[in-house]
Amino acid sequence: MGLGPNDAMQSTSDVDLLNWAEQSSTAACDKECRLKSALGEDAASNWWKEVNLRPSHVCWGCDMQPWPHERQYASRVWSALHAGHIPIRRVSQATNLWSVPCNRGIESRSASSRCLIGHFVYAVLCFFRWMGESQEPYALLSLESAMDLAWLVDQAPCSADWGFSVPEVAANYERFLTTVWHLHQEVPEYWEAAQGPLQCWRPRLREPQELLEGAQLHNQQMPKVFCLVLSVLPSDEDRMSMVTDTYADYCQSLAFIVASDAPEAFRGYPVIDLRKYFNIAPDPVAQGWSAGASSSNNHTGERNMNVNFNTIEKIIYAFLLAAIMSRDMSDKPDIFCRLDSDTLFIPDNLRRIVVCRNFSFDEPWALGYANYAHKHQQPGRAFFNGGTGVCVSRGALEVLLEREVRGDIKKSHLQGDWNLGSCVSVPGHWDDVVFASCLAQFGVPFSRWGTDCFGRDLFWPHRLERALPGPQQITPARVPPRVTYFHPPKSLRRKDIEQDVGVANYHHWRYRVWQHVACNSSRWLGDFPVSFHPYRNGTLARETFKRLAFEEDIQGYGPRIWDGSLAQCYDLLC
């Protein structure tokens, strides 16, 4: 039953809510009407949505102090920045931003937060203040706070006359994302003016490994892919069978990587015991544990701590062994992909990316689903999800091997050393995070072509059904988080994390506003998917692979397998 006359007034003692209802009332909807629309059947949920989901509410309260003063000040800072071509690190001193009281990158927002456009611009000002004080971590976190609000602010009628616009902030954020987190360099020296309205299809900077002459088939041959599948015997036998029944034949070479006694081959594919070549810990013996469980889909931090994981050692030494083995091959692989035993992989669609973007295999690079969960916490790196596959060029493996010979890959027996941010082989399960630290330390660029020009993922860290319309679909949240930086949904039991769409959405879209701020897709999986994870049910994995291989229409989604033509590069040429 809905709220009756005067019931809404009596049902709340929230002063902020009452003030909002009074200030936002109109002749068509008075204070009582506003309260009813906010409270509805679920006061806690609808109140927050009522304030923030409608673009007009971004402007609510902007005529109240301190926002008019901030709007004028922000406009002066913006004008000084662009008129004087002031370097980012000198803006604070030139405009007296040092006097602005700034949170250390983390901003809390409540249901009563007023003038969200003001909060957006305030976070940008704090970025410049912290950069002026050489506090880059706080500065970049402040920019995250601004991006939390970017989609809402861009829809609002009051976004003009504040100096810093969403198109300008989003463009600079994405440039910093590329420079700092993918190329492992410092924040650029200058802030750039907006080049026009924010667009979904927007140009990307050419990556270091992309050859200048444009897409072409390298020597008229398809790129050769070496698949390295981390496995544990005997618990992974069903998943290993799934691998051989699905994508194995589409890899140029495939090997199952273990650290235990094992047969030399499994269904005709080699099984490599890394202990024969390196001094590493054996695979853990734990009921129900497998290599597919070693890499978290969401990196929530929860693990079975009774298991002594060795996956950090396995990923480093598997790649090192592949580099050594490839030197003796007459037909050398171009790309090496580390995969889990429950990864569903489509090598031809990986080949499409590197051909369409004309990657050089002699240049070092890495590619996969870029995860930003550790950008602002130890070890302070972006990384590629291990479950969806970490793919590197032969040039990257040459760099890895050279640095190992020089002694730059350290060893430690302390599990806590995984988060040092340097290349260290330690016991533990954060293999994808540590390997990313190795690549970053050695200057290997992280490609951004894990997403297409429409902002859709090509490496999908879920099962296929999570991309399709329905209650479990992965879609970006338009309501900003109440706390910048780290504010997941209410805690759930560990077994619910993969099933709960709220938790899955939080982890998928964390620090990824740049991907969807200008895009409005009915699904966020690209037309040519490269991988899916996790598929722990072998039967389901086989059925899904068959549907993909036959390019079946699946609830309006028509997955494609690359046919080798450049005509199918259309979503990668921006």
- Domain segments of the chain as ranges: 7-46, 67-182, 218-441, 459-572
pLDDT in tens, 441-488: 999 999 999 999 999 999 999 999 999 998 889 999 877 776 765 666
* Over residues 52-65, mean pLDDT: 71
Tens of pLDDT, residue by residue over 415-424, are 888 888 789 9
Whole-prediction pTM value? 0.87
Distance (Å, whole) CA 307 – CA 301: 14
Report the candidate in 430, 406, 397 with the shortest Cα–Cα distance to residue 416.
430
Pairing of strands 383-384, 390-393: unpaired
Using DSSP, state whether 270 is helix, strand or coil. strand
Residue 357: is its pLDDT beyond 70?
yes
Q: How confident is the model at residue 71 (pLDDT cuts 50, 70, 90)?
A: very high
DSSP state of 137: H
Measure the N-to-C terminal CA separation of the chain; round to a whole number of Å: 52
CA 483/CA 336 separation, integer angstroms: 39
pLDDT number for residue 1: 33
Q: What is the pLDDT of residues 28-58, one digit of tens each?
A: 777 787 677 655 544 443 444 444 445 556 8
Spelled out in words, what is the top-level CATH class assigned to the domain 218-441? alpha beta
What's the token pair of residue 258? 């273990």
Tell me the per-residue pLDDT of 390-415, one tens digit each, with 9 for 90 and over.
999 999 999 999 999 999 999 988 88
Residue in 418, 405, 408 with CA at minimum distance from that of residue 442: 408
Q: What pLDDT was estimated at residue 501?
A: 82
pLDDT at position 24 is: 59
Describe the crossing of helices 431-441 and 394-405 by its angle, rounded to 10 degrees.
80
- Interatomic CA distance for residues 389 and 374, integer angstroms: 18
- Report, as an integer, the average pLDDT of 155-184: 93
- In the chain, what percentage of residues exceed pLDDT 90? 63
Look at residue 31 in the predicted model and tell me its pLDDT: 78
